[in-house]
Amino acid sequence: MTPMKMLISTLRALADRERCVFSASDLAGAVPLSGVGSDQMAVLLSRAVTAGELKRVCRGIYYYPVSGYRQENLLFHAASRLRAGELNYLSLETVLSEEGVISQVPMNWITLMGSGRSHVVDCGDYGRIEFVHTAQRAEDLQGELAYDAERRLWRASVRQAMRDLRVTRRSKDLINKEVANEFV
């Protein structure tokens, strides 16, 4: 069986509407390691995208189209795979707009605070993921984060998102102070 057929048969067998966003290293496990190096894996993934079997979300992250998958969570799932080994949590404008503290809803743009470097990841038609560096440790955030199982990411409380907004010196012009006071 060719590496492409092995990859596709593994995806068909294992992917479901809960698990269909993969990193390149996840997918490398579906192909026997003998004879398939990182360059060959990149070519294999490129061919799978060209064949329509996979969709490239951003560099190193792929989406296997599965019926029933809620594509509005795609950026969140991609973010959780991009920096899986680091502390990351939804915060800033993403949390504040969802809670009604700011009136504008960022379209196809999510913001996360994280222990890694600040960076914006372009996901093409899917949107953008903004990682903003924080020096805070997990112990400092105790009681301010809750796990969002649907999005597979930690999520800041409104109080923590406001604190993050202040620390990162982002614009506070859109904040509805009446709503913000209810949470703080």
Indicate whether 41 and 99 sit together in one domain: no
Residue 23 lies in a domain: yes
Residue 89 lies in a domain: yes
Q: Which residues of 20-32 are buried (b: 16+ CB within 10 A; e: fewer)?
A: bbbebeebbebbe
Indicate whether 49 and 97 sit together in one domain: no
Count of structural domains, the chain: 2
Dump pLDDT digits (tens) for 27-41.
887 776 555 567 888
Supply the CATH number for residue 44's domain: 1.10.10.10
Indicate whether 170 and 90 sit together in one domain: yes
Contact between 139 and 73 (Cβ < 8 Å): no
Indicate whether 137 and 90 sit together in one domain: yes
Residue 77 lies in a domain: no
Checking if the pLDDT of 161 tops 80, the result is: yes
pLDDT over 70 for what percent of the chain?
A: 91
Name the token pair of 184. 């703080």
Strand spans (E) along the chain: 21-23, 55-58, 61-63, 88-90, 109-114, 119-122, 128-133, 145-148, 153-156
Residue 160 lies in a domain: yes
Q: What's the mean pLDDT in 161-168?
A: 92
Rounded CA-CA distance 108/149 in Å is: 20
Instruction: Note down the domain range covering 25.
Output: 3-69
Dump pLDDT digits (tens) for 96-115.
989 888 877 778 999 999 99
**What 8-state DSSP symbol labels residue 104?**
P
Measured torsion, CA atoms of residues 58, 59, 61, 65, in degrees rounded to the nearest 10: 50
> What's the half-sphere exposure (Cβ side, CA atoms, 13 Å) at 162?
18
Indicate whether 120 and 51 sit together in one domain: no
Indicate whether 168 and 98 sit together in one domain: yes
Give the residue from 88, 91, 107 showing the smallest Cα distance to 99: 91
